[in-house]
Amino acid sequence: MRLLIVEDDLDLAAAVRAGLDRRGLASDHAASLGDADQMLKSMDYSAAVLDLGLSDGDGLDLLSAVRSRRQTLPILILTARGDVEDRLLGLDAGADDYLVKPFNMDELAARLRALLRRGNLQENDLAFANLRFDNVSRELSIDGVSVGLSAREREIMELLLRRPGRVVTKGFVEDQLFGLDDGLGSNAVEVYVHRLRKKLEKGSASAAIETIRGVGYILRPAG
């Protein structure tokens, strides 16, 4: 799950990304509408945070372009324009939510989570062997017993449970977990998978994460 932050104030963008990252939400940043448009065309983002006043145009134009391409990802407008008319313009152009600067980081994260949940509503819980992953609470349980996971572990578990029995490449996991420009140690994913594997074993999971050397991981029935 990845978010795109479209914001031309670089300090603010960095603060937003750091704040979301601390809350388990990985993101990329685009400083212009042109970059944002390219990234939205090439990557499958789960949601976007969109500033309106950008150096190369108005965020509403990007919003309209995205919607006319029938891209349905949730988009939250984050702007200094707080008038009722502005909000209506944004919502009419296809925004899912609207937050006015200055804003509270917890509120931004909460609203994004609400949008992500709404995007997932049609999907049932993920289940494989005796594992179950609740799409709303994002909790993993084994035989109905909840298993405590870190944000990164949870993310990896979800990726594997969406593709049981199929290879999930390490590169894909890295793409989904970390921003494009994050300095990421080459063994970071392995460390998270190792911890996750221990937790599955401890919880007597009847599924196990198998490593395909040099490629990635597969979730398989244990034993």
Q: How many residues bind Ca ion (CB under 5 A)?
A: 3
**CB of residue 45 to Ca ion, shortest distance in Å:** 19
Which residues does 13 contact at the CB level (< 8 Å), separation at least 6?
A: 5, 7, 29, 31
* Contacts (CB under 5 A) with Ca ion, residues 42-101: 51, 53
Contact 2, 176 (CB under 8 A): yes
**CB of residue 6 to Ca ion, shortest distance in Å:** 9
The interface region with Ca ion, picked from 8-16, 66-74, 177-185, 197-205 by CB under 5 A, is: 8-16
Q: By C-beta, is 57 or 171 nearer to Ca ion? A: 57
**CB of residue 85 to Ca ion, shortest distance in Å:** 19
Residue with token string 């034993």: 223
Q: By C-beta, is 75 or 205 nearer to Ca ion? A: 75
The interface region with Ca ion, picked from 3-11, 58-66, 138-146, 171-179 by CB under 5 A, is: 3-11
Burial zone of 119 (CB within 10 Å; 0-12 exposed, 13-18 middle, 19+ buried): middle
> How far is it, in rounded angstroms, from Cα 139 to Cα 7?
32
How many CB atoms are located within 10 Å of the residue 156 CB? 22
- Which residue is nearest to Ca ion, using beta carbons? 53
Q: Nearest CA to 138 among 122, 164, 156?
A: 156
**CB of residue 180 to Ca ion, shortest distance in Å:** 21
Residues lying near Ca ion in the complex (CB under 5 A) are found at 8, 51, 53
